[in-house]
Structure formats: structure tokens, C-alpha cells
Amino acid sequence: MKKLVACTTQSLRIVAFCALAAALTIIVPRTTNPCAYSMSRSILSVTGLDPFLITCSSDASLSDGAGDKMKAGSGGPIVTDLHLCGDPDPPDYPPPAPFKCCPPMISSSEPVNFTFPDPAEPLRTRRPAHEAGSDHMAKYRRAVALMKALPRTDPRSFYQQANVHCAYCSGALRQLGRPELPVQIHFTWLFFPFHRSYLYFFERIAAKLLGDPGFALPFWSWDVPEGMRIPDEFADRASPLYNARRNPRHLPPKVLDLEFMEVENNYTDEQQIQRNLWVMHKQMVTNAPLPSLFYGQPYRTGDSAMPGAGTVEVCPHNTMHVWTGDLRYPNIEDMGIYYSSGRDPIFYTHHANIDRLWDSWRHIMRTTRGNQTQVDLTDPDWLDASFLFYDEDARLVRVTVRDMLDADKLRYTYGGVGMPWLNARPPTSPGVNGKRSRLKSVSFPVFLDEAVTVEVSRPAPPRNRQEEVLVVEGIEVDSADFVKFEVYVNAIEYHKVQPGGRELAGTFVTLKQPGEEAETMRTTMRVALNQLLEDLGVEGDDSVTVTLVPVRGKVRIGGLRIVYVAE
């Protein structure tokens, strides 16, 4: 926790940063015209990678409805602009090779607004990668080979495609209107739509290079027993899908651990598969009964990065990144850290599964709560948030979240696997709640050096049925580290809970962050309680005991409270 407690250095840096930001505010007029940002353009021109001319967008090309709000300086949808791209924040440990990640600026780099594909286009069916040897895996292999063969200056090359992820999560891209703030698409409500649009263009580029308009990405179905290993194709050293920077202990036939955090467990394959199914059930069903709990927290222009992640992003998304990455590297390249994860061809199949789970979650919500259930967020700052991608013809396209809500309109679907975790409700462990009367009083904030148990009172419920949510507030972690802690409910003797059992209400996991500007990551976590309290048979209690258990890394917790949420 050296960085969290080194207050003096930290404050000096903050003062220096604020002074710089204030100076920037004077030098850089807050306008939607990126040409005004002479400083960021000069930063861009020294990044050195891209030999193309920098062209200036006109105001008109950016007028996607966000411009007026931008002038206010805060609030409004997050809008990105390639002209506001600079050096990424370096990771805390020296990377295996220096890197930059701004997309190339080609002379035609004026964004066009996204248009939907022709409804007559064949529907692409993404299929599971564990069907190794099948045609579609052979096509994916060939597509990656073709992308790798393109020159690095081509925005459709594998090198540049990998850099897209880096640019959107390593501090390289800045918020239009607030250039002192990075665009970070993780730990926010942008997580699902950003990655959907990223894969959409990646897939179409692959299809074009293959000359196969029906090409569909395979997905790594790590949530179903047959898919709970690295698919064989990725482990073939002769394949372009191979990546040397993966955990050598996790090659097939090793069964994956959806809650992995650096330490191997000694479960049998059967136990591991069962626990993986419980994790899936918690993250997809019981912990995600509301859109905000599934998608993540609001993130608008002017906001600090990483306000809070949705259930699936934290786990299994983050945990699978760490499980796949190579622990012999201190940053866990390639998959275990944001800047390099797109370099591993398995990333796109991992995220296709995340994207599939987005659709699965909507399906579950509609089948359990009725077709009229509102499954998408309705906030215009979510719907109008926009990202830039190069398409299969190397045209720069501005795409909004609103464009990405209907996979059918995007002409793709998923097939080949079911939801075996749908009814995999984890077991309870009776008699683990010890004696509340012996609890020590806790004053927040607390450093999680050891497990902390707190009695949290439940406010009087509103008359209409709403979701009761435990909010873990003011979480602070050292960005240089990756961190995991667990949240148990009514399990003071948490070590007696069956691994993966019901009292383990939630798991918090971060990936390592780039350093510099954000040495401390501040975020929040939310745990849905209705189903949990029903399963534990304690719906009538006035309070619950919450035990926070550190697993990996150092973390400070600002407080705990219970709220009721209606959506």
C-alpha cells in the first residue's frame, strides 16, 4: 500500500497535476473542435508510430448530439476523438517491449456515422471454439494470419486491432471536452457496448480479408463444461493463434478456474467444473437482477475513471484475463493487463463469450420477468456515448452505444451451447454465522489487512418491491497491483463456508492499471441481496453481517451500506 499511504508525495503530485490541468484549461479552450487542442496534437505528432497526416475534424463531423453538453465541461456522454490521443500511461513494471497505442491517423480520418449492415446480409452465427478442427476455427486461424500479415500502419492489421483495446483503457485517449481525463471503458457501463462494437469491426475486417462475407468469430465458452479449457487450436505452437505469453500451467487439458487469482487450487476437475457453474449462476442470475448491477455504473464526461463494474466484468471476465496471462511477467502480459491483452488472439474469443453472455442475461431477464421488462439502460448519456473504429474498408466510423443494442440488426447471433449454470444455485453452509455479540466495532475507512466483519442494518423497505443492494463504497486499491477480496454475508466463520458456497455473496477483482496519473484506483461494488437473503432464510432480520476477506493485494474500504434500488 506504499502508494496509498505516501500522502505527501501523492499530494504534491496532485497539486502539480491540478496546476497543469488548470494551465491546460486556460491554454485549451473547451470547445468541440479538436483542432483547438494544439497541445494534444503535438503530443500525437511525436508518438512516432504513424506516418500519416493528421487531419482536423470539423465541428460538423463531431455533432452527434454531444457537442452542446461538452461545452458545459462536465456531464454528457463520453465521446472520443483520435486527435486527443497521446502516450499511454506506462505499466508499473517495465513491459517486455516499449509500446504506443494510438490508432493511425490516415488522410481519410474523418469519422462517418455508423450505419447498420444491409438486413439482407447473411446472419453470422458465432460458434464455440471448443469445436476444434471445425471449419470456423480454421477460418479464424487464417483470418488472424492475414491480419498479422498486413503492414503495421494499416488500421486493419492485427497490430493495430490489438492497439484499439490499449488506446481505450491505458490513458491514451482523452475525453472530448475534458482532455485532462482519460477514456477508460472498464469498470463502467461502457464495458459491454464498447467490446461489442470492437468485435463487430474486428469480425468484419476478418471476413473481408478472408473473402467470406459469412465469417463469424468463434467464442471461448468457458462457462459450459465442454469449453472450460483453452481450446486446443490456441495451444498449437505452429498456429497464428498461439501466444507464448500465457500461463504454462494452464494449457489444455487443464480445467479453468473462473475465480482464479494467482493461486492454484487443488480441486478435482469435477469439483472445479461445479464451482465454475456456481460462479456463473451467481454472476448472471442472483447478483444481476437489475440492469445497473449487470452493466456497471454511470460514467459521463468529466467523471473519474472506473466508477464501478458490473457483475460479469469483475468475474469471470477479469479472472479469466488473469488465468490466461503469464504470471512469469510481473504485469501478467499478454492477457492479464489491459494494454497488451488484445495481442493474444484468444482475447477476441474470450470477449465474444462475454458478448454472448450479455444476450443471455437479457434473455433470462425477459423470460423470468416478462417480455416487457426494461433490460437496457435508458440514460441518454449511455445511449449517446460513442467510440471510433476503422471498418473493413479502413474508414473511420463513429459508433454509439445506441447502435450496438440489437445483435440481429448487426447481423450476427450465437449458437452451439446452452446455459448449464442457469439453475446451478450454490449450496448454503448452515451454522457459520458465529456470535454477533462478539463482533469488534469497526470504524471506516479500513485497510483490509485481515478479514473484517461488520453488522450492517437494513433500512425499512419501501412499499413496492425493490432490490436490496449492499454497496461497498470508497474502495481504493493500488493501481500497480491486482486485487481480490471476497464479500460474505452472514458467515462470520467464513472459512467454514463450502468453497463457492452461497454465503460468498460477491467477489471483487481488478486487473493491474497503468501507473502515473491514477496510482490509486477508486471504485465501488454492489451486491444484490434479495435472493441471497431468501436462500439463507433471513429475510426478516433487521441486519446482516458482512465479512470482507482479503485474498490478493492491498485494499482500503470506505464504508458499507444497504440501499433499495428500483429500475
Binding site per annotation, positions for Cu cation = 165, 186, 195, 317, 321, 351
72 CB-side CA count, 13 A: 10
All three cell numbers of 103, joined, read 490508432
Give the H or E element holding residue 234.
Answer: helix 232-235
The Cα–Cα gap between 522 and 504 comes to 23
Helices (H), 129-190: 135-149, 158-167
Going by the annotation, the residues of the binding site are: 165, 186, 195, 317, 321, 351
Using CB atoms within 10 A of its CB, is residue 264 exposed (0-12), middle (13-18) or buried (19+)? Answer: exposed
Q: Which residues contact 235 (CB under 8 A, 6 or more apart)?
A: 242, 251, 252
**SS3 state at 351:** helix
Sign for the CA dihedral angle at 17, 22, 28, 31 comes to: positive
End-to-end CA distance of the chain: 37
Contact 295, 191 (CB under 8 A): yes
All three cell numbers of 259, joined, read 475465480
The Cα–Cα gap between 19 and 22 comes to 5
Q: What is the DSSP letter of 435?
A: -
Contact 567, 291 (CB under 8 A): yes
The Cα–Cα gap between 173 and 306 comes to 15
Q: Which residues contact 436 (CB under 8 A, 6 or more apart)?
A: 455, 492, 545
**SS3 state at 47:** coil
Of 27, 29, 82, nearest in space to 54 by CA: 82
Contact 173, 183 (CB under 8 A): yes
For the chain, give the number of residues.
Answer: 567
